[in-house]
Amino acid sequence: MKITDLRCTVIGQNPVVRIVTDAGISGYGEIESYKPYITPHVLFYRDMILGEDPTNVERVMLRIRRMGAFKPWGSAVSAIEMALWDIAGQAAGVPVYKLLGGKVRDQVRCYNGAVRFPMQGYDPEDYCENMTRMKASPEGFSIIKQAIGFHSPMATQVPGFFYGEAQPPGRHANRGLLTERGLAHVVACVRAMKEVLSDEVGLALDCGPGWTVPDAIRLGKALEPFNIMWLEDLLTGDYTPYVSANMYREVTQSTSTPIHTGEQIYLRQNFCDLIEGHAVRIIGPDPCDVGGIAELKWIAEYADLHGILMAPHGTGDGVLGLAALVQVCATLPQNLIAFEYPVGNPSWWYDIVEGLPDPIVKDSLIDVWDRPGMGVEFKLPDASRYLPPEDAGFFD
């Protein structure tokens, strides 16, 4: 079997990669909906993989892996990797998890991720109302993650929140020392959410990036009585092209509140300092950014050797990204907590694919399906209606 083409288009809000072969089998990968501009970058790798056997996944990846980078640029390599596994599974007639060593669990746990409700404001009563709605969501999430601090509009909407000059919204650009009022506001919002969730549902917090080390330590200590699942991306995170393991280590060693990071990191090599130095308690690589699902599994196993937990990112990865997360998380060691649940966007995505459970999530769990490859296929006549005019031949 040989690769005859590499294509990329945007369906709805998500870039979709297709690898075409001379055996009539195609594999698909998906990129976060936040990166519709990435399509030309995917095609950069086309000439490097044409003529290769797609079932030799690692051999193909060795040709392109070194030319990726931290979020967002690793997404192209990651989507190609997932499409290769999709082909390999179909060619072998087995689900991808079988090719990754077999499943450890029959169900995988997820947390709310892309299931969110709009907020009218960012005061404690707004967070209370939002958590009440989240807790009642039909998926029955056992963990709910909510954005606070610099991962929310607090910096621009809460007066006197921090000492820096507030930047307009976009890619979490704010950073600086919080005022005493700002820190108290964050703690009050967390207290309001915990009053709703109690000990029935775990609360994780998406915090930054943007916190200074002293504020991160203060926050971790202040939230210790609330048994928070984790504080995510306090210092670095979304679209930050470095790791800052030494700074994270200082925060981690100063509080019993678990510290989490990793969604923007590309490749195992860039997790070494976090893992080997015990700089965080939890890591969260995204299969659509880290280099793919085999890369994510390697990182999870290495983290497990060091007593570090795993909670993969995936909020914008779409239904094909969901399939990849289910397949790889079925194979991960017991340091897996849960992965971040992505949804189809727009909702008509669920009308153009088949193979997903219905409902997908029950009591925060997803049954691992056994169809070949990633197990999710396009309904070609239906999906073709949503192709951009310039990509009308994407499925041909």
- Tell the CATH topology of 3-93+379-391: Enolase-like; domain 1 (3.30.390)
Vertex 243 angle, CA 287 and 30, to 5°: 20
The pairing of strands 3-11 and 107-111 is: unpaired
Q: What is the pLDDT of residues 203-247, one digit of tens each?
A: 999 999 999 999 999 999 999 999 999 999 999 999 999 999 999
Count the helices and strands in the chain (H runs, E runs).
14, 14
Average of pLDDT values for 259-285? 98
Q: In which residue are the tokens 């396009």 written?
A: 378
Q: Token pair for residue 174?
A: 């704010």
**What is the chain's mean pLDDT, rounded?**
97
> What's the confidence (pLDDT) of residue 337?
98
Signed CA dihedral, 278, 284, 290, 292: sign only: positive
Asked if 3-93+379-391 and 98-372 have one fold, the answer is: no
> With 90 as the cut, is the pLDDT of residue 167 above it?
no
Laid out side by side, the sheet with 282-283 consists of: 143-147, 202-206, 230-232, 259-261, 282-283, 309-310
Cross-strand partners of 387: none
The pTM (predicted TM-score) of the whole model is 0.97
> With 80 as the cut, is the pLDDT of residue 19 above it?
yes
Task: Give φ, ψ of 367 to 5 degrees.
Answer: -70, 135
Q: Give the pLDDT band (50/70/90) at residue 74.
A: very high
Helix (H) or strand (E) holding 109: strand 107-111
Whether the Cβ atoms of residue 264 and residue 240 lie closer than 8 Å to each other: yes
> What's the confidence (pLDDT) of residue 171?
75
Domain-by-domain residue ranges, the chain? Answer: 3-93+379-391, 98-372
Q: Which CATH number fits domain 98-372: 3.20.20.120, 3.30.565.10, 3.40.50.720, 3.40.50.11260?
A: 3.20.20.120
> With 90 as the cut, is the pLDDT of residue 360 above it?
yes
> What's the confidence (pLDDT) of residue 63?
98
Q: What is the pLDDT of residues 283-337, one digit of tens each?
A: 999 999 999 999 999 999 999 999 999 999 999 999 999 999 999 999 999 999 9
Q: How far is CA 205 from CA 46, 202, 223, in A?
A: 39, 10, 11
